[in-house]
Amino acid sequence: MAYRPSGVVAIAVMFIISSVLCLIGIVFLETVTVAGEYRSAYLSLFVSLAFFQVSPSPPGLWIEPLVSMFSYLSEINIYHLVAAIIFIFSLCYLFAGVGLLQMKHWGYYMALIMALMNIILSAFAVLAGGSSLGLVLGVVTPIWGSRFGLVSGIVPLIFGIIVFVYLLGDVKYEFE
């Protein structure tokens, strides 16, 4: 069995945990957020149709509920796109973690790329005053307030810098 530095094992475990957390986030996004958007769209359409049955209205008023429903559906498509992006990041974290545990060169390079992506996304998020997820979702100030967003942006930034600097050190000679 190949020698594995404890720092590499720790980073690999953190990458695998990050992958699992990304998958949990996708499940939450798809089941709670998207389901809520569908409920809002159906409720808006139902209330609009009920209103039209009660009172006679000009034909132009039929356009508003349809536009409202399509705006909900466009938001839902954005959530699906964000879920797909998070899924790709999850797979990359998983492959990087497994590659690091096996001490393979491809795992080393994948981990470097993921650390660099983590630094870039977190830096933009901190500059925008929100979290990395908030940056992906297009939310500059998160719901929970700017302190949470700042902390949730700084922690991945520091983790990415530590991983990047550690992997560029002497440990790079240990990979096959």
Domain edges within the chain: 8-174
Per-residue pLDDT 10s for the chain (176 aa) are 568 899 999 999 999 998 998 888 888 877 877 776 666 666 666 655 555 555 555 555 555 555 555 665 566 677 778 788 889 999 999 999 999 999 999 999 999 999 999 898 888 777 766 555 554 544 444 444 455 556 667 788 888 999 999 999 888 888 87
pTM value is: 0.71
DSSP-derived letter for residue 92 is H
The sign one gets for the Cα dihedral 14, 16, 19, 23 is negative
Of 107, 140, 145, nearest in space to 2 by CA: 107
* C-alpha angle 60-62-66 in degrees, rounded to nearest 5: 125
Q: Find out whether 37 and 82 touch, Cβ atoms under 8 Å.
A: no
